[in-house]
Every structure is written in structure tokens, then in C-alpha cells.
């Protein structure tokens, strides 16, 4: 597998040429989708219906469990069908957003021809993948939802309130309100979509009710966290969901003086890992690729990266030791004495 630099923007007009004249299109994204994946799907669905008269279905793999993402799905009525209930003969093509078919967390339904891929993560080349009729992969964008907004604009399709809200959430959360990896295109999409987006729904997504288990998970994260100076390493055993690992990595990065926050936990037969970086010029994706090595797979963009290691051949303890040693080695912290988070003054 070869990782490629960002590609130049394709001729967006050619997107129309790869679409069928009629029938239904399957839309999918990565496992445990986030607001950017959900927003991009809603945007593509709106475009296909309004401009090309094409119906769509959506498959979401893995449960959505982070409270903000669940609220977004419910309030925007983003309905999905189970992957095992898909009849390939019912679809004339498939589109993947916010991911790529080679990524380890993306397993689209088999038997449906892949028409297009939209993604803002670093590109991947794999000889086992057939050429994709339309491929727009560009890590210069802060969010895939921004790319979909550009596509809507190209085809003169105005987003309705639901679509604008979904795309706005995608841009907002993946760029942390334009503070993380945002470009001029992301800012344009953010400002334009905000004018039409439903403010009440956005407020509800920002402040969803949280369960007792959520706070218990944070408590376990505090107890597991080790401070290595510029790195907070939080390697837990079983966790509630993959999203909780990302949430803890985000949470601890806010500790004053930290540059790296790496969190991990076991869920659904995999050890999930999230890495966050808050330093000028830092890039979490190559860092996490090094940390996981040949034991796992990952994806990412700018200051955020996530990955997983299958637990079929390694125990949780072995995975934690592997991640810890590789992270300390990568950041030249080998030999640094760690402190528990409760000892931080």
C-alpha cells in the first residue's frame, strides 16, 4: 500500500457523466461515522435527488455511540439500513464519502459497482482496487463536507435547511470551528451554511444529555492517564465505544502545556487508538502510522488521527505495551518517568 500526496481537483463536471440515468445509489462511509461522514452523505443524497433525480439508500457500519453524533443522526433523521440486508441487484452504483475503500475501517457492501469516492484524508493507492470512475481525494480540505458543498455549488443546487445543518456540522466538528486545519474553502462553506442551518438543532447537538456511564468512562480515563511531559498517554482496557477513545484524546489535549494526547481502549474485538496533536507543524497521521507499525492500520488528517489493532493475535496488555513503547520512541521520550494525572500540579 502506497500513501500518496493530495491530488489536484478533478473536473467536477465529469461527476455527472459517471452516474446512471436512473435507479438507486448506495451511500456509505467509514465505521462508526462522525459528523463529517454523516454531513457529507446527507449532502450527496440531496445533490443526487435534486439535480439528477436519483434515489439513495445509506448503510452505516458500526454503532454510533458518541452523544453528539447520536443526536445529529436522530434530529436530522439520517436513516440507514443494515449492511446484511443489502441486495446488490437493487443498486446501480455506490459512493463512498469521508473514507476510501482501502481503509481498514471501511467495508462497503459487496457486489455494487463503486462509482465515486470523496475524501479529505491522505490518499491511498492499492493494486487490488479497481480504478474508480470519479475520485476526489484532497487532504488540503479540512472536511469532506466542504468538498460536498463545493460540488453542490458547482451544480447550482441550494442546500435545504436539513442539508445545510448536516454539512455545517461536518465542517464545524472536523475543523473545530475553523481552528484546526481549515482552509479558505472551509471558511466559505462554514459561513454560507451557517446562514441556512437550523440553530436549534445545532444547539441540541452541541449539548446532548450524557449518561452516567459517560462520566464513569472519563473517570477511568483519568486514572489510566500517564503524563510524560509533552505527551499524555491514556491506554485503557475495555471502553464503552470507539468514540469514547477519541473523546478522551480530545479532552486531555486541552491540559495546559500538552502537545500530544494518545488514547486507546478495547471495543468490538479491536484496540481503538486516537491521537491528537497541538503543536505548530505537527501531523498526527504519520505519527500514528509509526506508533501502530505493522500491527494495525490508521487514517487521519492534520492534527487528528485514529486507528485500530485487531485483538485476534495480541492480548490487550501486549497491544498497550506495543503502543506505549512505540509512542515514547517516536517522541524521543524513552526513559522519561511518567506521572499519574492526579499527580499533576
User: Residues 160-197: pLDDT tens digits?
Assistant: 999 999 999 999 999 989 988 889 999 999 999 999 99
54 is a domain residue: yes
**d(C-alpha 271, C-alpha 245), whole Å:** 10
Same domain, 80 and 158: yes
Same domain, 238 and 319: yes
Same domain, 37 and 62: yes
Q: The C-alpha cell of 283 is what?
A: 501531523
**d(C-alpha 212, C-alpha 214), whole Å:** 5
- Residue 314's closest CA among 264, 278, 253, 279? 264
Same domain, 194 and 303: no
Same domain, 15 and 106: yes
How many domains in the chain? 2
147 is a domain residue: yes
Task: Tell me the CATH number at 283.
Answer: 3.10.310.40
Task: Tell me the CATH number at 175.
Answer: 3.90.1640.10
Q: What domain range includes position 275?
A: 213-336
129-146 per-position pLDDT tens digit = 778 999 999 988 999 999
Same domain, 331 and 282: yes
Same domain, 63 and 98: yes
344 is a domain residue: no
271-311 per-position pLDDT tens digit = 999 999 988 777 898 999 999 999 988 877 778 888 999 99
124 is a domain residue: yes
74 is a domain residue: yes
Cα 178 to Cα 22, 76, 107, 171, distances in angstroms = 38, 23, 30, 8
Same domain, 138 and 219: no
Same domain, 196 and 255: no
Same domain, 193 and 219: no
40 is a domain residue: yes
Identify the domain boundary among 183, 206, 229: 206
**d(C-alpha 95, C-alpha 25), whole Å:** 7
Same domain, 202 and 237: no
**What does the pLDDT read at residue 303?**
83
Mean pLDDT of the chain: 90
Same domain, 156 and 112: yes
Identify the domain boundary among 206, 233, 261: 206
Identify the domain boundary among 206, 221, 249: 206
345 is a domain residue: no
343 is a domain residue: no
Give the chain's residues under pLDDT 50: 1-5
Amino acid at each position: 500500500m502506497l500513501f500518496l500526496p493530495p491530488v489536484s481537483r478533478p473536473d467536477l463536471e465529469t461527476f455527472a457523466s459517471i452516474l446512471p440515468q436512473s435507479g438507486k445509489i448506495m451511500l456509505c462511509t467509514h465505521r462508526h461515522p462522525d459528523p463529517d461522514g454523516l454531513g457529507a452523505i446527507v449532502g450527496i443524497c440531496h445533490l443526487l435527488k435534486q439535480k439528477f433525480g436519483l434515489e439513495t439508500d445509506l448503510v452505516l457500519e458500526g454503532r454510533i455511540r458518541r452523544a453528539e453524533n447520536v443526536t445529529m443522526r436522530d434530529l436530522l433523521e439520517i436513516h440507514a439500513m443494515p449492511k446484511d440486508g443489502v441486495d446488490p441487484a437493487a443498486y446501480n452504483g455506490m459512493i463512498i464519502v469521508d473514507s476510501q475503500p482501502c481503509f481498514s475501517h471501511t467495508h462497503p457492501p459487496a457486489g455494487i459497482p463503486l462509482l465515486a469516492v470523496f475524501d479529505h484524508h491522505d490518499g491511498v493507492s492499492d493494486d487490488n482496487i479497481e480504478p474508480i470512475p470519479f475520485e476526489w481525494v484532497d487532504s488540503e480540505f479540512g472536511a469532506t463536507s466542504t468538498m460536498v458543498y463545493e460540488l453542490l455549488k458547482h451544480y447550482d443546487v441550494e442546500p435545504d435547511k436539513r442539508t445545510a445543518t448536516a454539512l455545517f456540522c461536518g465542517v464545524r466538528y472536523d475543523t473545530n470551528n475553523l481552528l484546526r486545519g481549515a482552509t479558505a474553502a472551509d471558511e466559505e462553506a462554514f459561513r454560507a451554511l451557517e446562514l441556512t442551518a437550523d440553530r436549534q438543532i445545532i444547539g441540541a447537538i452541541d449539548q446532548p444529555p450524557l449518561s452516567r456511564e459517560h462520566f464513569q468512562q472519563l473517570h477511568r480515563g483519568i486514572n489510566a492517564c500517564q503524563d510524560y511531559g509533552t505527551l499524555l498517554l491514556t491506554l485503557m482496557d475495555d471502553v464503552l465505544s470507539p468514540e469514547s477513545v477519541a473523546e478522551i484524546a480530545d479532552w486531555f489535549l486541552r491540559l495546559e502545556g500538552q502537545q500530544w494526547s494518545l488514547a486507546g481502549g478495547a471495543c468490538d474485538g479491536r484496540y481503538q487508538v486516537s491521537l491528537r496533536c497541538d503543536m505548530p507543524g505537527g501531523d498526527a497521521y504519520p505519527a500514528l502510522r509509526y506508533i501502530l507499525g505493522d500491527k494495525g492500520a490508521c487514517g487521519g488528517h492534520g492534527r487528528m488521527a485514529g486507528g485500530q489493532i485487531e485483538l485476534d493475535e495480541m492480548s490487550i496488555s501486549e497491544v498497550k505495551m506495543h503502543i506505549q513503547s512505540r509512542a515514547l520512541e517516536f517522541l524521543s521520550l524513552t526513559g522519561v518517568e511518567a506521572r499519574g494525572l492526579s499527580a499533576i500540579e
